């Protein structure tokens, strides 16, 4: 954020009347399947951290919509991802959510077809094989994998574009000064929210709800208490262009340093941050549709989403700290505040979901401060428009 913005800088807010998405976009089963096909099955999605599968033969299974994927580290240390499906008759290969393979093979529990950890079919126990059968024709279904700063992403498209790094919103903050790769998990929260995944992202992209829903957060970040997210959200921002106070700049309240119950740090501060990054108190980076990450001066947070159905979304949040900070940090003070904010968001998203079933409510209307919702809706429309070929999921 510019400390001394020009008087000619633009106002962020919407200046024309804009509708929301149709209500059915948040609960209709066909709309959900279209979201899966056009977005979730064609995007880079964060699934775990590299340290979660650090040792050779470690694996983790993840579910995206109706698709189940196994992510593993092979015997050479390389990360790989495959559909969790045997090429024989389609049986599930790995039944556990995480663990370590007992051998350097993936063996189907049904008929014992075995695959190397590179995905090649190496053993079929049948006493004879059909004429023309070649094991080389039946490898596991490979899934594209990309790593960004220790975070593992997959893409279910057969020929995906870009990489995990390219999936981040251009407006995302620069987190290069945070030591993300070396951090360890101090706490993990997993929660099923009874709302469509798009409702969570809409809530993330506005702060009109903050004064009423996030009272403690609004005290910590005073501009949120005004229902705004940035200086230029205020139609009269130019009157306060030279005021660098937290209620206008977006920084934490005077005397606060980080997101915690009391606003104070409770352990070592990252040494590589700039004065501006320390002063901001929070730096966000977003990769739609699956995650965002926040850098604070003493820890980082990742929040990951996975769609479970038209009206259910799984949220997984992790609080990450320097390895030598765990014994010196009051993690409870930090986690309690972040958990409170996420629980408040989840609860109000569920309230939003419940109201959308009204037969009279076909569409809503955006307010000027909800310009990022409009941008999100444009992103959704663009992804749907670009989708041409139905996936196997929609063909069933």
- In DSSP terms, 72 is beta-bridged to 59, 80
Residue found by looking up tokens 């990054």 in the block: 277
Gap between the Cα atoms of 266 and 334, Å rounded:
8
For residues 114-137, give the mean pLDDT: 96
Question: Which residues belong to CATH 3.90.380.10 in the chain?
Answer: 18-41+168-387
pLDDT of 328: 85
* Mean pLDDT of all residues in 20-28: 98
pLDDT digits (tens, 9 = 90+) for 158-180: 999 999 999 999 999 999 999 99
> Which segments of the chain belong to CATH 2.102.10.10?
45-155
pLDDT tens sequence across 349-363: 999 999 999 999 999
- Residues 6 or more apart from 298 whose CB is under 8 A from it? 257, 258, 265, 266, 267, 268, 269, 270, 321, 325, 329, 334
Mean pLDDT (whole number) for 183-210:
98
pLDDT score of 2 more than 50: no
Query: What are the C-alpha distances in Å from 97 to residues 52, 54, 70, 213?
Result: 12, 16, 9, 35
Asked if residues 60 and 52 have their Cβ atoms less than 8 Å apart, the reply is yes
pLDDT of residue 314: 98
Burial of 139 per CB tally in 10 Å (0-12, 13-18, 19+): middle
pLDDT digits (tens, 9 = 90+) for 175-193: 999 999 999 999 999 999 9
pLDDT exceeds 90 at position 4: no
Say what the pLDDT of residue 207 is.
Answer: 97
Q: Are 62 and 76 in contact, with CB atoms under 8 Å apart?
A: no
Q: What is the pLDDT of residue 270?
A: 96
- Decide if pLDDT at 72 tops 70: yes
Helix (H) or strand (E) holding 164: none
* Per-residue confidence band for 226, with pLDDT thresholds at 50, 70 and 90: very high
Weakest mean pLDDT among 4-18, 182-196, 240-254, 260-274: 4-18
Alpha carbon distance 372, 168 (integer Å):
15
Whole-angstrom Cα distance, residue 376 to residue 196? 15
pLDDT interval class at 157 (50, 70, 90): very high
For the stretch 28-46, pLDDT in tens is 999 999 999 999 999 999 9
pLDDT at 267: 86
pLDDT tens by residue, 45-63? 999 999 999 999 999 999 9
pLDDT of residue 330: 92
The CA-atom distances, in angstroms, between 74 and each of 114, 130, 370 are: 15, 30, 46
CATH topology of domain 45-155: Rieske Iron-sulfur Protein (2.102.10)
How far apart, in whole angstroms, are the C-alpha atoms of residue 218 and residue 201? 19
What's the gap between Cα 296 and its chain centre?
17
Q: How confident is the model at residue 395 (pLDDT cuts 50, 70, 90)?
A: very low
Prediction pTM value: 0.93
CA-to-CA separations, 143 to 70, 71, 139, 185, in angstroms, rounded: 9, 9, 12, 26
The answer, yes or no, to whether residue 6 has pLDDT greater than 80, is: no
CA atoms within 13 A on the CB side of 286: 12
| pLDDT of residue 83 exceeding 70 | yes
Whose tokens are 């996420």? That residue is 342
| Confidence check: pLDDT of 121 > 80 | yes
What's residue 8's pLDDT? Answer: 64
- What mean pLDDT, rounded, does the chain reach? 94
| Side-chain-facing half-sphere of 113: CA atoms under 13 Å | 18
Check: CB of residue 172 under 8 Å from CB of residue 284: yes
Higher pLDDT among residues 348 and 8, named by residue: 348
In the DSSP assignment, the letter for residue 269 is P
CB 308 within 8 A of CB 314: yes
Eight-class DSSP state of 257: -
Question: pLDDT band at residue 16, thresholds of 50, 70 and 90?
Answer: very high
Provide φ and ψ at 320, rounded to 5°.
-115, 135
What sign has the CA pseudo-torsion 302, 307, 308, 310? Answer: positive
Task: Read off the pLDDT of each residue in 309-333 and give the average, rounded to a whole number.
Answer: 94
Looking at the DSSP assignment, which residues form a beta bridge with residue 152? Answer: 48, 147
Question: Topology of domain 18-41+168-387, per CATH?
Answer: Naphthalene 1,2-dioxygenase Alpha Subunit; Chain A, domain 1 (3.90.380)
Who's near 285: CB < 8 A, 6+ residues apart? 168, 169, 172, 173, 174, 175, 292, 293, 294, 295
Q: Which residues contact 324 (CB under 8 A, 6 or more apart)?
A: 268
């Amino acid at each position: 954020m510019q400390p001394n913005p020009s008087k000619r800088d633009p106002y962020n807010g919407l200046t024309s009347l804009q509708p929301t998405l149709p209500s059915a976009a948040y609960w209709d089963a066909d709309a959900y399947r279209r979201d899966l096909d056009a977005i979730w099955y064609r995007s880079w999605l964060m699934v775990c951290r590299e340290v979660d599968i650090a040792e050779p033969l470690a694996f983790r299974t993840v579910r995206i919509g109706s698709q189940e994927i196994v992510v593993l580290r092979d015997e050479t240390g390389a990360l790989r991802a495959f559909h969790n499906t045997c090429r024989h008759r389609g049986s599930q290969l790995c039944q556990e959510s995480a663990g370590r393979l007992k051998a350097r093979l993936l063996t189907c529990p049904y008929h014992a077809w075995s695959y190397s950890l590179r995905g090649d079919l190496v053993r079929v126990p049948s006493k004879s094989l059909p004429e023309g059968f070649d094991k080389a024709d039946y490898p596991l279904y490979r899934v594209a994998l990309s790593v960004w700063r220790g975070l593992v992403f997959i893409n279910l498209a057969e020929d995906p574009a870009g990489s995990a790094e390219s999936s981040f919103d251009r407006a995302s903050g620069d987190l290069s000064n945070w030591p993300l790769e070396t951090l360890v998990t101090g706490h993990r929260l997993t929660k099923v929210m009874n709302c469509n995944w798009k409702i969570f992202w809409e809530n993330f992209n506005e702060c009109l709800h903050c004064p009423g829903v996030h009272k403690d957060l609004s005290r910590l970040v005073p501009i949120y208490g005004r229902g705004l997210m940035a200086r230029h959200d205020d139609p009269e921002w130019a009157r306060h262009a030279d005021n660098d106070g937290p209620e206008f700049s977006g920084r934490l309240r005077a005397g606060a340093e980080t997101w915690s119950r009391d606003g104070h740090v409770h352990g070592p501060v990252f040494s590589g941050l700039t004065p501006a990054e320390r002063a901001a108190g929070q730096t966000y980076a977003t990769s739609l549709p699956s995650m965002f990450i926040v850098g604070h001066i003493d820890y980082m947070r990742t929040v990951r989403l996975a769609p479970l159905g038209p009206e259910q979304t799984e949220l997984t949040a992790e609080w990450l700290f320097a390895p030598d900070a765990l014994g010196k940090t009051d993690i409870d003070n930090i986690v309690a505040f972040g958990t409170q904010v996420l629980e408040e968001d989840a609860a109000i998203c569920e309230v939003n979901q419940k109201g959308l079933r009204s037969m009279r409510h076909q569409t809503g209307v955006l307010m000027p401060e909800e310009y990022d919702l409009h941008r999100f809706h444009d992103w959704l429309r663009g992804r749907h428009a670009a989708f041409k070929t139905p996936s196997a999921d929609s063909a069933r």
